Chains A and B, each alone.
Chain A
Amino acid sequence: AQSVAQPEDQVNVAEGNPLTVKCTYSVSGNPYLFWYVQYPNRGLQFLLKYITGDNLVKGSYGFEAEFNKSQTSFHLKKPSALVSDSALYFCAVRDTAYKYIFGTGTRLKVLA
């Protein structure tokens, strides 16, 4: 079955430190992978996507993600975390039937 896993419910990081939010996927064929962020009482905002090309994808607000085909991972990263980055992050994959499968989300808490 096609799926997305976000193994960490919550990630805590100190402001200024690098952050990583993990995502692994299982999908047939070439994956379309996405990261979205959700702030309280808001809908999801698109951060970045991987379709093809360079394994390192750059997105909004200084975020980037690394696609690793052999490990079937698409981890979200940022070199220096801000308190304002605290939010709920979702990884998603588009399956072969064009349905979007979302992970259960990882709550990022950046501590001042």
Chain B
Amino acid sequence: KAGVTQTPRYLIKTRGQQVTLSCSPISGHRSVSWYQQTPGQGLQFLFEYFSETQRNKGNFPGRFSGRQFSNSRSEMNVSTLELGDSALYLCASSLDPRREGEQFFGPGTRLTVL
């Protein structure tokens, strides 16, 4: 089975721009979660989508949004980028984390905001 894929792997943007990141989960997985990873902060939960519905949300400003398509692929959008948004953005998929628990992570998209 193919693993979780994320595109692009690297992005460089400037302040004020917007960015869209993409995540393709493992085939058959209906849940996709997004995390922001920064040094010293660990992983911060952004949101979870399950069957095209946002099921859970972390404590991030409204500039961070996401969506999930009928094929379970998910996108994350960040508008009006700030320097502090520079991070590794990780996507994780699972059948349903409310049952099985473990998540399968993609390699991440490294976003640099200049």
Q: Do A and B bind each other?
A: yes
**Hey, which bits of chain A sit against chain B, CB under 8 A?**
32, 34, 36, 41-46, 49, 51, 90, 92, 94, 97-105
Residues of B contacting A104 in the complex (Cβ-Cβ under 8 angstroms): 40-42
Q: Contacts A43-B106, A44-B105 given: A100-B42 contact, CB under 8 Å?
A: no
Counting chain A CB atoms within 10 Å of each CB, the highest count among B102, B107, B108 belongs to: B102
Question: How many residues on chain B are close to A (CB under 8 Å)?
Answer: 25
Which of B40, B101, B105 is within 8 Å of A94, CB to CB?
B101
A71 to chain B, nearest CB (A): 21
Known contacts A99-B48, A105-B42; 16 further A-B pairs (Cβ under 8 A)? A41-B107, A42-B107, A43-B92, A43-B105, A44-B90, A44-B105, A46-B103, A49-B102, A90-B42, A92-B43, A94-B97, A94-B101, A102-B35, A102-B43, A104-B40, A104-B42
For residues 75 through 109 of chain B, which have their beta carbon under 8 Å from a beta carbon of chain A?
90, 92, 97-98, 101-108
Q: Residue of A at shortest CB range from B104?
A: A46
**In the complex the two chains form, is B56's CB within 8 Å of A99's CB?**
yes
Q: Residue of B at shortest CB range from A6?
A: B42
Q: Residue of A at shortest CB range from B47?
A: A99
Q: Contacts A98-B56, A99-B56, A104-B40 given: A43-B4 contact, CB under 8 Å?
A: yes
**In the complex the two chains form, is A98's CB within 8 Å of B104's CB?**
no
Which of B43, B98, B102 is within 8 Å of A98, CB to CB?
B98
Residues of B contacting A44 in the complex (Cβ-Cβ under 8 angstroms): 43, 90, 92, 103, 105
Q: Does B58 interact with chain A (Cβ within 8 Å)?
A: yes
**In the complex the two chains form, is A46's CB within 8 Å of B45's CB?**
no
Which of B58, B90, B92 is within 8 Å of A99, CB to CB?
B58
Q: Does B33 interact with chain A (Cβ within 8 Å)?
A: yes
Q: Residue of A at shortest CB range from B42?
A: A104
Task: List 7 tightest A-B contacts by C-beta distance, closest first.
Answer: A43-B105, A104-B42, A102-B43, A44-B105, A46-B102, A102-B42, A43-B107
Interface 1/0s, chain B 43-78, versus A by CB < 8 A? 111001000000110100000000000000000000
Residues of A contacting B55 in the complex (Cβ-Cβ under 8 angstroms): 98
